[in-house]
Amino acid sequence: MTEEPENGREPEDAAGAGEPADSAPPEPAAEAEQPEPAAEAEQPPAPPEAEEEYEPAPRQKPEIPGADLEPVFIPQEEEYLDAEARAAAEAEAEAAAARAAAEAEAEQAQPIADAAIDLAAGARYTATGKRKTAVARVILRPGRGEYSINGKSLEVFFPRETLRRMIRQPLETVGYESRMDVVARMHGGGVSAQAGALRHGISRALIEADPNLRGELKRRGFLTRDPRVKERKKAGLKKARKRPQFSKR
């Protein structure tokens, strides 16, 4: 009979008593020489560090509302004036406006120096002027400054001096008020509209006589037809804007 060991283990070989059970394989004698790595590529520059975000301090609510706000100073152009100073300022402004109007009127009254109109015996210059619903067919011819409107003189057809002065403005501007006659046929409109249409027609006839006068007459407003007309009546209203009286019951 064989004797079993006391501790229940089999006896190990004498040769392998000092070696571990799973030993690593022996290393090779000489490792293969590895090739040297290529020169490292140039790396891109590192991105700049992000700036630190500024976080404003939270606004503390003051005890008095609006105490922490900065006042905005708005300069006052005009100081408060008393009644006398205000009246003096208004009078000065009115006087300045009157002087400007007088200067503009004096400038318009000055004749155009370079006007050259042919005043031959058979010269005739025709044009049509309009204002509101009035139409004036005008003929300019050499003469002594007489007006014939529908067979009547200027004083009979236009009794108002302001209208007669307005009609004479174009010929006075070019300096031919005493060397040309005006013959006109008119219809439509009222007295004021007919005067505006006649002045418009005379101005346009002067352009036919001398085209170089266009710039100066245009600047003085003689060639521009006045666009103001009566506003039409609307449905449901008495006139253009007048409404019937409101009645609740």
Lowest mean pLDDT segment, chosen from 27-31, 62-66, 93-97, 168-172: 27-31
Cα–Cα distance measured from residue 136 to residue 195, given in angstroms and rounded to the nearest whole number: 9
Could you give the percent of the chain with pLDDT greater than 70? 71
Mean pLDDT for the chain?
81
**pTM (2 decimals)?**
0.58
Complete domains list, the chain, with CATH: 125-219 (3.30.230.10)
How would residue 71 be classed by pLDDT, with cut points 50, 70 and 90? confident
Q: How far is CA 15 from the centre of its chain?
A: 113
- The 10s digit of each residue's pLDDT in 109-164 is 677 756 788 888 889 999 999 999 999 999 999 999 999 999 999 999 999 999 99
Tell me which residue has tokens 């403005």. 169
pLDDT top residue among 41 and 130: 130
